[in-house]
Amino acid sequence: MVEQDLVEAYFKSNGFLVHSAANSAITPTKRKLDPLTSIAVMNPRVTENFLDSGMRLFSGDLHRIRTGMVGILGWTNSSFSPAVMSSDTRQVKFLKQQLSKEQLDDCFKPSFPIWDESKSSFLKLLVVPSLPADNGKMKEALEFVRSIGVEGVLTLRSILENLFRQITPNLVKDLPSVFQIFGLIKAYGLAKDPQMEIFKEAG
């Protein structure tokens, strides 16, 4: 799953330890949504979880995260499309159709200890393809994911922006494939600094 590779690279490049979690054994039915891919993350430079910036998270909020389970809802494991991204109303509808409390409860159930032996608490984080730009629709979307157990939301757009900004055209052979691809894009001049404006989003 390409989104999982991106999310893992994102957290690792920002100083986190990352552990891939096994996919759920839940079998989808007509009533049940497909299980989400999830990873466990831990920031060794942070002593405790302390999110006070609201549900919508950006890379600048990572220093407030100690441990977390990260569920990934992407393009390849959902019905998301460019048509959905073009409409705030469709984005809210997409989240409500693709996510459920049962699904997320399963996603956030680690099959191994989350690093800190003396602590069982961890943040329940979700990566989504995008969020509405309109403040009202954004609030509706975030209130919905909060109601089904999510404590913080990142978008693939902000993850891609952060990864692109870290990469230089000078390729290093031992970098993960995600960085190699981004490095090639920059080396060929397909994404220069002014073009990074494509990643701008409201909120």
DSSP 109-133: --SS--S-TT----EEEEEES---S
State pLDDT tens for residues 147-158: 999 999 999 999
Q: Mean pLDDT across the chain, nearest whole number?
A: 83
Q: How many CB atoms lie within 10 A of CB 28?
A: 11
CB 97 within 8 A of CB 72: no
Residue 25: predicted pLDDT: 47
Query: Residue 176's pLDDT is what?
Result: 67
